[in-house]
Amino acid sequence: MPRKIYRQGDVLLEQIDWIDSEYLKKYGEFISDRLEISSENGYSHRIDAEIYRYGSSTYIVVEKPAILKHYQHPEILVEPGIYQLRFIRDWLLRESRPFD
């Protein structure tokens, strides 16, 4: 079964299958029952789901369909599963400058 990937602006949720929610609940550090990430423009990406830290990564446990929201983007319906939180930064070179 193909894994799901959701992207909203600079936030990316990548479904994983090598860890289950019971393991995260037992060994991970519970952070919150709501993900809220401020983006560069000051608005937040939000989703109501359990957030855990395990190792150096952040995982989102979506028990029932949940909506990922942001003021400047369409809402995204995220299906149940476990997702690793990743970030994507878009860089735009507005002008070129010579180096001396």
In tens digits, what is the pLDDT along the chain, a chain of 100 residues?
678 999 988 889 999 999 989 999 999 999 999 988 876 667 788 999 999 999 999 999 999 999 999 888 899 999 999 999 988 665 554 554 444 4
Q: Please state the three-class secondary structure of the chain as a single string.
A: CCCCEEEECCEEEEEECCCCHHHHHHHCEEEECCEEEECCCCCEEEECCEEEEECCEEEEEECCCEEEEECCEEEEEECCEEEEEEECCCCCCCCCCCCC
The model carries a pTM of 0.81
